[in-house]
Chain A
Amino acid sequence: MNKVFPLLILLLVVVSAAMGGLYLLSRPQPPPWTSDSRQALEAFEQGLEALKKRYLSEAHEHFERAVELDPDFAMAHLFLARHWRQRASAERLRAVDASRLTPREALFIRYYLAHADGEHDEAEAMLARYLESHPDDPFALSVACDASWLRLDWDEAERCYQHLLERHPNWVEAQNRLGYLAMARGRFDEAEERFQSYVYIAPDQANPHDSLGELYMLLGRYDEAEEAFREALARRSDFCPSLQHLMELMIFAGEIDRARQALADLEAEEACRDVLKGGLRCHAEVLLSYAAGDFEGGWQRVESCSERLYRSVLPHRLALLTGRREDAFELEERLRAGVAQEADLPPREHQWHQAALFHVEASRLLADGRPAAAAELFARADELSTYWGDSQWAFKLYNRLGWLTALELAGRAQEAKALRRKIAAINPRFASVFHAGQETLAELARQAMARSDGDSAESAPRPQ
């Protein structure tokens, strides 16, 4: 018994230690966000969830409620400042005492302020240091991945999102971003797999269906795209991106009436008022007119809301197609100036704007009967553009249509044939929507070329 007793004691100690450890492990962990109000915390987490699902208005409401319940809730202010550019929240952030925040919260605030102050390198360095000590923090990883994406370092962004998925397989945003990255780089099969996985992981969310629908729309699989958008809207009837995409789909599918109806549905949706405010209504109306072949009507639309359309290339095209060269030049200059002025835009934005600039210049040159030069600029625009979402893919395909016309008119039949095959391989139905516009531009080009052949003159000088 003397020999057994110490062993029993030892066994008892071990078992007690194990139970104590289990108890400690099973205790709920403290929340990751600093707030004095439990309701504010709940509202904030609901906002995060809504943001993840791309339910922006809902997210906005939750974050607003969070700051209402806890005016000192730093992270809620950060999200409001970052996603909705609320100045009050931004100002509030500068007064935050970072010492009472978690390391993650302190990082995010300092990161945002550094970027806001133009100290981009410092901000990234700050983030890198944090990730060294917290390599598995999903929020920080997500921010780092987004930064890579914004820098157009898509290889790094891809690696980053994949790493994030490995550590946090349920971080669906990474799945979505990887899908868009694949789509942007022309890896459509992979993009489809990603979006299908996204749909599988979060079937009750609208955004996965919307993302898949966008891909299908790009690929000319309009029926599937419509089904996907409808699925999205079935999950969330006020999901503005899907309403918008549905409208665009109808346009690309050549169903103008249904497009108008979709636009009406979009306008009717109160949650989408803010979206429409950003020029979407004008863009949609201009696009509808252009697709319908009503170039004059389209230009009228442009004139009524041109301030909000400067980033669109359609006004410029409509100007050319309706013979308004001066307006076309002016739009070109305005685009150029606007790009130069908004230096704080992410590189991706700059790249797109540059591509748009090349496109509008190319369109003008083509209209002036200089197809060869136009082809070069179209090509450069094509290099800078991607199949990114938010209809940037549509620009790329549209630019290629112009490029195709330029090549054909320049007598580069082989290249034109190859390009035609490329366009058809991606979306065989896309060209048909813009056929009228392309033909009109081609005719203008031929007329200009004929004139220049007759007069042996270069293109008409640009008006001073």
Chain B
Amino acid sequence: MSITTPRAEVAGDPSRVRPRAAPQFTVMAARFNPTPLLLLFGLVALGLAGLSIGDMFLPRPYDGVVLETDNPRLVVREVIPGSGADRAGIRAGDEIIGIAREIIHDYEQAASLLNRRRIGEELPYLVKTTGGERVERRVRLDRRRIGDGSYLYVCGVAVSFFFLGLFVLVRQPAQHASQVFFLLSGLFMLALVCRLRPASYSGVDTVVLSIGSLAMLFLPSAILHFYLVFPRPAWLQVAAESPGRTGRLTRLALRWGWPMLYAVPVVVLVASVLLELARGAPGRRLAGSPAASWWLLVIFVLLGLFALRANARHLGTARERRGVLWVLVGSLLGLAPFLIAMLVVRDSRSLFWFGVLPLILVPITFTYAIVRFQLFDIRIILRRSLLYTITTVIVTGVYAFAIAGFNAAFRGSDLASSSYFPVVLALAIVLLFEPLRRRLQDPVDRFFFGERARLRQATMQLGEALTAKVDPEAVVRELVEKLPRLVDLRFAALYLLRGDALECVAGPDHLPATLPLLPPLQRFLNRRRRLTRLDQLGALPIRSPEVAAMARQLEEAGVEAIGELASSRRWIGLVLLSEKRGRMPLEREELELLQGLLHQACLALETGMLLAERTQQAELERELEIAARIQADLNPGRLCFAAGWEVAAVCQPARDVGGDFFAQLPAPAGGAAVVYGDVSGKSVSGALMMMAAHEALHALAIAEPDPGRLFALTNRRLYELGRRRFVALGYLGVSADGEQLRYLLAGQPPLLLRRRDGRVSELPLPPHRIPVGALANGSYQPIEVPVAPGEIVLGYSDGVTEAAAPSGEFFGEERLIEALASTAGGPEEVVRGVERAIAAFTRGGPQYDDLTLVAVGRLPRSRPPGRRAAAGASTARRPESRS
């Protein structure tokens, strides 16, 4: 049975393994890596933002005067109660003429002057009162921070967006969209932190505001650039590859478009300034930029959102499309109010509430899209403990508010004054806290870890399905088809060990059909015992160029991870996994889950293989049983010999089938002779040779009963079979007069003669004793020796003398002689006696060689001659079943 699944049936997406020709910008990105420059830009931007924030929140000298806006003169709108100005007698409506012995012309000069002073310093103010009188007031400067809550909020939004961009860049430094996103986040941060702030007129003010203006200048281009390439420039690629003018124009735009994109705001700014100069009147400024620049931002944002929508339509998976939709909605809801408010609203308070406050939606939706839909191909694994903590904090906060609310609601009432009230409240908290936390935790878990739970469940189900199968082919099919769907792989492939190579039994066509079996890789995978990324192979000291070459080959084919399939008994093969769709790498948890699945698959495969092997073995055993029966049947159940003679034989194969045998052949002068043989080799091979020898002897004996020629012919026949097998044969017959034993030994041990007085001696050996089949030619001469009545001749195979005790000692000839000598009775008794002696010697230990004993003896004279022997019958014992 083969474990092969037709490769064409395997699910996967091999056609997308090799990347398509990249459009111009990604090719450029491949040549020049801007990530270090971007990081430097980010560092500088963060530094400047920090400078701006520090500048805003550093305590500054403050006089307590709030001036009228939109008034070129420094007229006091209000005086902060308790401030230095208030204590000095400055009132609303007064006009500040001079500070610190300098005549002040505008607010900037005043602020700059104050910034150079110290907190606590007393300064002379020249003030024109509402009555028209000019008086000098001495004002002591208090402490103040220019930045307020709204600026802090802006900084929070901006910095969080920046760090989101940094996180994306660190996770995906080579991705063009992530690079542009980081640039955008940096510019966004600079624009908000450094430009949307009140002027402090400090030394850093000019630098910070200038940087903010510069960031505002390039922000529209960055926004549009980002939306054109996020999450990937699918529609641009499609357009670039389309035939005709559209394709040509798109390719041209891609080549030259990016620098032009960033030049447009500069051109618009220059044109605005030139127009203002031509008119001779300054135009309206919004956060330091002309209104035209803000309109350009609006246009670019709209174009960008359209481009985003177009990109989304070309995305492959629903998950990505949903993520992009969230980004689109978030951008619209966050940016639109801001842009409208900047262009329309004049009041700073309204600008904050209607324009700036919704900006938080931008980083929130991006974060959500990344966490939930793995945009930018980033997978975030949230620690459960962190979410637990957050949930607990939220619940605690809810309780804190509830307590505060209760206290406020029932303050002064009888209930609040009751001593039972705090007890009841505490009990309520204790009883309800955990259920509430769990109620909150469940949806959070489902939200954040739902996919992970689904993955685990799906993995478990697949594992169960695998282990339920015993057919290895079905296991392979199940694994290779379902595993990619489980974690959104492009393909999976399975290589099984065939001889000394790995053959692909399932996988996409572009993978090689075979892989070499590389011991270093095998050892390495065996040591790791888990799925390994290909890029981790190179880092390890395998020091094998073949492994490196194979890793390169597989990497080019789109393989990301490799793992072994191995049980405790054997090494089964390799599994290859591609990267996930969307070029996302496999996460550690996913690898662990997959590894568990592969273990189950290993078990299933091993079970299937074992089952197949067992089935095969059972069949083999049955065959062996049959063969043993056949073989046993070949040994005659009853032996005939010559008249006046007795014969007994036994043959015990060491295994189910053996190489020893004995047979009854026709004797030349009539009657029968006994041949006993011992084939070199055991088990099935020995048995087959035994069969050949047996049949050759029988067939040839019909034509040529003479033992010498019989053995010669049998020798020739067996030699021609080849296989370097030979047979030790022994021939026992009776001479023509029936008085002598005529025997031939070819490879068998010498015969033993037991005389009537119990003495045992060896009979002479024939001159040519080479086992039959060993040489091409053999000349065999039988010997005749007289055997007196009551004497027994014992022939045996070397398995008798080589029967081993548990200590390893052989039975040997001496024991055999002793057993022969001590056993009274005829051939039957002798055979049994020797058997018993051997059994007692080996004490039930394993039998390593076949045992054959043939005993012939002349009947004692007590038996009337002429009585025809009961055909010299004796028993030939079949081997016990060894199953």
Contacts and interface: CB of A to CB of B under 8 A. Distances in A.
A4 B36 CA distance: 7
Contacts of A166: 105
Nearest to B127: A200
Contacts of B136: 200
Contacts of B103: 165, 169, 175, 197, 200-201
Contacts of A4: 36
A95 interface: no
B40 interface: yes
B98 A201 contact: yes
Interface string A190-203: 00110011001111
A447 interface: no
B840 to A, nearest CB: 82
Interface string B139-151: 0000000000000
A197 B97 contact: yes
B132 to A, nearest CB: 9
Interface in B93-152: 97-98, 101-103, 105, 109, 124, 126, 134, 136
A156 B634 CA distance: 146
Nearest to A202: B101
Interface residues of B, number: 13
A432 interface: no
A435 B134 CA distance: 34
B98 A197 contact: yes
Interface in A180-214: 192-193, 196-197, 200-203
A10 B37 CA distance: 11
Nearest to B113: A169
Tell me the interface secondary structure of chain A in the complex. helix
B492 to A, nearest CB: 36
A3 interface: yes
A201 B134 contact: no
Contacts of A7: 36, 40
A192 B101 CA distance: 17
A3 B35 CA distance: 10
A3 B36 contact: yes
Nearest to B132: A189
A102 interface: no
Interface string B34-66: 001000100000000000000000000000000
Interface string A4-29: 10010011000000000000000000
Nearest to B134: A196
A170 interface: yes
A3 B39 CA distance: 11
Contacts of A192: 134
Contacts of A10: 40
A11 B43 CA distance: 11
Contacts of B124: 200, 203
Max chain B CB contacts within 10 Å: which of A3, A169, A202, A203?
A: A169
B111 to A, nearest CB: 15
Contact of A200 (B36, B40, B98, B105): B98
Interface string A158-178: 000000011001100001000
Nearest to A193: B134
Contacts of B126: 196-197, 200
Contacts of A165: 103
Tell me the interface secondary structure of chain B in the complex. strand
Nearest to A197: B103
B127 to A, nearest CB: 10
A170 B102 contact: yes
Nearest to B128: A193
Contacts of B98: 197, 200-201
B114 to A, nearest CB: 15
Nearest to B136: A200
Nearest to A11: B40
Nearest to B101: A201
A132 B363 CA distance: 54
Contacts of A3: 36
A192 B128 CA distance: 12
Nearest to B97: A197
Max chain B CB contacts within 10 Å: which of A10, A175, A196, A203?
A: A196
B778 to A, nearest CB: 83
A11 B97 CA distance: 46
A166 B103 CA distance: 10
Contacts of A169: 102-103, 105, 109
Nearest to A4: B36
Nearest to A170: B102
A197 B105 CA distance: 12
B105 to A, nearest CB: 7
B100 to A, nearest CB: 10
Contacts of B36: 3-4, 7
Contacts of A203: 101, 124
Nearest to A198: B103
Interface string B623-639: 00000000000000000
Nearest to B125: A200
Contacts of A11: 40
A244 B109 CA distance: 38
Nearest to A201: B101
A158 to B, nearest CB: 16
Nearest to B33: A3
Max chain B CB contacts within 10 Å: which of A4, A201, A202?
A: A201
A166 B106 CA distance: 11
A327 to B, nearest CB: 48
Contacts of A193: 97, 134
Interface in A141-165: 165
Contacts of B102: 169-170, 201
Contacts of A175: 103
A450 to B, nearest CB: 50
Interface in A375-430: none
A342 to B, nearest CB: 38
Contacts of A170: 102
B483 to A, nearest CB: 38
A169 B105 CA distance: 9
A402 B460 CA distance: 121
Nearest to A6: B36
Nearest to A194: B103
Max chain A CB contacts within 10 Å: which of B101, B103, B105, B109?
A: B103
B285 to A, nearest CB: 22
B349 to A, nearest CB: 34
A203 B124 CA distance: 11
A192 B102 CA distance: 17
A182 to B, nearest CB: 15
Interface string B180-193: 00000000000000
A201 B134 CA distance: 13
B169 to A, nearest CB: 14
A20 B643 CA distance: 133
Contacts of B109: 169
A63 to B, nearest CB: 27
Contacts of B40: 7, 10-11
Max chain B CB contacts within 10 Å: which of A166, A175, A196, A200?
A: A200
Interface string B263-280: 000000000000000000
Contacts of A196: 126, 134
A204 to B, nearest CB: 10
Contacts of A200: 97-98, 101, 103, 124, 126, 136
Nearest to A189: B132
A168 to B, nearest CB: 11
A189 to B, nearest CB: 9
Interface of A: 3-4, 7, 10-11, 165-166, 169-170, 175, 192-193, 196-197, 200-203
What are the 7 A-B residue pairs with the smallest beta carbon separation, nearest first? A200-B126, A196-B134, A3-B36, A200-B98, A197-B103, A201-B101, A7-B40
Given A10-B40, A11-B40, 11 more contacts: A4-B36, A166-B105, A169-B103, A169-B105, A193-B97, A193-B134, A196-B126, A200-B97, A200-B136, A201-B98, A203-B124
5 contacts: A7-B40, A166-B105, A196-B134, A197-B103, A201-B102
